[in-house]
């Protein structure tokens, strides 16, 4: 079932002679149960794609549909609710609040989203799988980059989102952890029927992906041949 659909998306920044065409007629579909990889170098339009897919900004032209509902017809409040309930963001600069311990990052989620978060036993298993169980009372400032990244992944998965949007989630991880994260995303997509979209230039994640998109100069193409290459 299609969860996220981007139809003929164009995005421009600036005006007149300084106008930049960042995304060019992008078409993208993410289905539940699949791990989608969007590969591209810096400046290719990956992050713009991610922010539009996540409803953080609107495209200049084209439509984004989430679960069959047009995002542009949603109010700001509805978009907030959509991001909180349906989307799990894993951001490049981590998505952790420096003055909350790891445990409190999740308590904050419980304060604003009271239902359908991970139950305690599944949550503990996730922390264990990510190797962060013993870091629960530490502040982000006391963790390494890789540990922060893994807490950020746990934080995004905690709300059991329909879609996970990850921006370079393995940037700070070693190969062993990359494989673990790849497996977590793969399991998440398949076992929890979630659409996972990972924007990255880390080729080590290819083996876990169901679909591989390449983005270059704002143009996106489906390139599943990369899996067998």
Query: Which residues here bind another protein, judged by CB under 8 A?
Result: 42-43, 47, 50-51, 54, 56-57, 77, 80-85, 87, 89, 91-93, 95-100, 104, 107-108, 111-112, 139, 167-168
Q: CB of residue 24 vs another protein: minimum separation in angstroms?
A: 17
Q: CB of residue 229 vs another protein: minimum separation in angstroms?
A: 27
Q: CB of residue 224 vs another protein: minimum separation in angstroms?
A: 26
Q: Cβ–Cβ contacts within 10 Å for residue 87, how many?
A: 23
Give the separation between CA 191 and CA 209, rounded to whole angstroms. Answer: 15
Which residues, other chains included, contact 6 with Cβ-Cβ below 8 Å and sequence gap of 6+? 26, 27, 28, 29, 49, 52, 53, 59, 62, 63, 64, 65
DSSP of 8-68: EEEEEESSGGG-EEEEEEEEEEEETT-EEEEE--TTSSHHHHHHHHTTSS--SEEEEEETT
Residue number, 186 or 220, with CB nearest to another protein? 220
Give the separation between CA 88 and CA 158, rounded to whole angstroms. Answer: 8
Tell me the backbone φ, ψ of residue 194, rounded to 5 degrees: -115, 145
Pair type for strands 195-200 and 35-39: parallel
Give the separation between CA 90 and CA 149, rounded to whole angstroms. Answer: 8
Residue number, 26 or 186, with CB nearest to another protein? 26
Q: CB of residue 33 vs another protein: minimum separation in angstroms?
A: 23
Residue number, 92 or 194, with CB nearest to another protein? 92
Q: CB of residue 98 vs another protein: minimum separation in angstroms?
A: 7
Residue number, 32 or 83, with CB nearest to another protein? 83
Residue number, 166 or 186, with CB nearest to another protein? 166
Q: CB of residue 183 vs another protein: minimum separation in angstroms?
A: 24
Residue number, 61 or 107, with CB nearest to another protein? 107
Distance of CA 194 to the CA centre of its chain: 11
């Amino acid at each position: 079932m299609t969860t996220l659909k981007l139809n003929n998306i164009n995005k421009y920044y600036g005006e007149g002679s300084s106008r930049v065409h960042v995304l060019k007629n992008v078409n993208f579909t993410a289905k539940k149960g699949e791990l989608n990889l969007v590969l591209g170098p810096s400046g290719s339009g990956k992050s713009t794609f991610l922010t539009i897919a996540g409803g953080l900004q609107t495209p200049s032209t084209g439509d984004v549909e989430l679960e069959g509902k047009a995002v542009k017809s949603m109010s700001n409040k509805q978009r907030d609710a959509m991001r909180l309930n349906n989307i799990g963001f894993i951001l490049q600069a981590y998505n952790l609040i420096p003055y909350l311990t790891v445990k409190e990052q999740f308590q904050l989620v419980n304060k604003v989203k009271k239902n359908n978060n991970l139950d305690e036993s599944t949550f503990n298993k996730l922390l264990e799988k990510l190797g962060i169980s013993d870091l629960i009372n530490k502040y982000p400032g006391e963790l390494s980059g890789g540990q922060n990244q893994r807490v950020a992944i746990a934080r995004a998965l905690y709300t059991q989102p329909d879609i996970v949007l990850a921006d370079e989630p393995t940037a700070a991880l070693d190969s062993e952890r990359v494989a673990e994260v790849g497996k977590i995303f793969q399991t998440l997509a398949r076992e929890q029927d979630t659409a996972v979209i990972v924007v990255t230039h880390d080729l080590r994640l290819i083996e876990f992906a169901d679909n591989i998109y390449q983005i270059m100069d704002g143009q996106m193409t489906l390139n599943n041949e990369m899996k067998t290459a």
